[in-house]
Amino acid sequence: MSQKSDITDLTICRAAFAAWVFIYHVDLHLHFSLALGPFSALITHGYMGVDGFFILSGLVLLHTHREFDAVRKDHLHKHFRWAGHGMALSFYARRLARIYPVHLATILILLALAVAGAALGVHPHAPQRFGLATLVENLFLVQGWGADHFGAWNYPAWSVSTEWAGYLLFPLLALIITYFINLVSLQLVIAAFPILGVLYFVWGHSLNLAFGVGFYRFFPEFIAGMAAWRIAPPVADFTPARHLFLYSGAGLLLVGAVLGVDLVTVIGLWGLIFAFYLQADAQFPPVLGRRPVLHFLGLLSYCFYMSFAIAEMLTVRAFQYLGGQPADEKLLFAAMMTAITFILAILLRGFVEQPCRRAANRWLQPAPAAAPQKVPATEKPQSLF
């Protein structure tokens, strides 16, 4: 079984998912998807990239934090129960260090822009998004827990808030999923899709549940991703199974995305992600190959995802100041929004995300065990009595 925390295929998937969401939001201004005719749903359903992140998050977390599986195996021993509590706290600290610094930095950037705009007499387009109450919710990462229905402050962060709720429950979910036999995990995967199917039909044939209702979409996909890790080892070395999930997952993803059927798309996303993980678990070369540029974009994907709303606001304001309309200068608008997003993402990764992760790794590194003292050969040990 592969022990690498970074899996090339899955890291590249992160880049693809972030790009899909980004293009979707650019299209909300430019409507260039209309030129694609029957393939326009590929763009207009780009919000499905978030579903890819949700599935990927559950899988990668359980792959990376296998210590919870070890605690489950020794659950009868009091020592390991206490160790489980300590690992949960360490897990929370590491995940918070992973997501919160960039989230806080984007909030501070938006706050600075709001203050500067107020000083210049420029008011935000949607002032209800920048209130004090919603600021507090964002600072505590609870804006996606049912209170926010319009995307306050950095609106893509609703999914980060939702994932944070999943992280809080992750130790418990991990112990439950690893406690039972593999068949139970397979049943969880199978059950996740009918649940998503009900949401799909109730929500008007869409899985675009965001902000205050994102929980309903998140948890079935997150748990399906966790369960994928559990059922991977028995089939990873079986080549026909890897090929089956790879081709069927890619086919369903493409068909669902082209036709705009979100339920088919999310099944394809799970199948493709699972196939990539099987390939890594069997210790075969990445399906997508070694592609340093795409791998770097995958590592940049979180900062990129968290930056595009700021870039969007700045680009729209620039067009308003110049008296133009985005739809009239589509290429310029797309180029400006892309450039600003990449610049912000690179700055956030270099000056916020990476330094904070390195600091967290130093602080959370367990202290080395003290070496036992050697008794000199000429000295007899003292009696305990």
- For residue 370, pLDDT beyond 70: no
pLDDT category, 381, cuts 50, 70, 90? very low
- For residue 238, pLDDT beyond 80: yes
Q: What is the mean pLDDT of residues 159-187?
A: 93
Looking at residue 376, its pLDDT comes to 53
The verdict on 191 and 81 lying in the same domain is yes
Q: What is the mean pLDDT of residues 167-190?
A: 93
Token pair of 371 as six digits: 């070496």
Q: Which residue is listed with tokens 């990239």?
A: 49
Residue 22 lies in a domain: yes
Residue 19 lies in a domain: yes
Q: What is the mean pLDDT of residues 242-254?
A: 96
- For residue 103, pLDDT beyond 90: yes
The verdict on 225 and 244 lying in the same domain is no
The verdict on 191 and 320 lying in the same domain is no
Residue 328 lies in a domain: yes
Residue 206 lies in a domain: yes
The verdict on 244 and 355 lying in the same domain is no
Residue 378 lies in a domain: no
pLDDT category, 138, cuts 50, 70, 90? very high
How far is it, in rounded angstroms, from Cα 268 to Cα 254?
8
Residue 368 lies in a domain: no
Looking at residue 80, its pLDDT comes to 45
Looking at residue 344, its pLDDT comes to 98
- For residue 269, pLDDT beyond 80: yes
- For residue 281, pLDDT beyond 70: yes
Q: What is the mean pLDDT of residues 256-265?
A: 97
- For residue 72, pLDDT beyond 70: no
- For residue 346, pLDDT beyond 90: yes
- Look over the chain and give the mean of its residue pLDDT values, rounded to a whole number: 88
Neighbouring CB atoms inside 10 A of 136's CB total 11
Instruction: Quote the percentage of the chain above a pLDDT of 70.
Output: 89
Looking at residue 372, its pLDDT comes to 53
The verdict on 308 and 211 lying in the same domain is no
The verdict on 192 and 341 lying in the same domain is no
Q: What is the mean pLDDT of residues 270-281?
A: 96
Looking at residue 121, its pLDDT comes to 77
The verdict on 208 and 133 lying in the same domain is yes
- For residue 129, pLDDT beyond 50: yes
Residue 83 lies in a domain: yes
The verdict on 98 and 200 lying in the same domain is yes
Looking at residue 82, its pLDDT comes to 43
pLDDT category, 70, cuts 50, 70, 90? low
Looking at residue 347, its pLDDT comes to 98
The verdict on 242 and 265 lying in the same domain is yes
The verdict on 217 and 183 lying in the same domain is yes
The verdict on 176 and 207 lying in the same domain is yes
Range of the domain at 317: 1-29+291-361
Q: What is the mean pLDDT of residues 143-168?
A: 90
- For residue 379, pLDDT beyond 50: no
pLDDT category, 324, cuts 50, 70, 90? confident
pLDDT category, 382, cuts 50, 70, 90? very low
Q: What is the mean pLDDT of residues 3-17?
A: 88
Number of folded domains that form the chain: 3
Residue 373 lies in a domain: no
Of the residues 213, 231, 249, which one is the last residue of a structural domain?
A: 231
The verdict on 269 and 311 lying in the same domain is no
Q: What is the mean pLDDT of residues 287-291?
A: 92
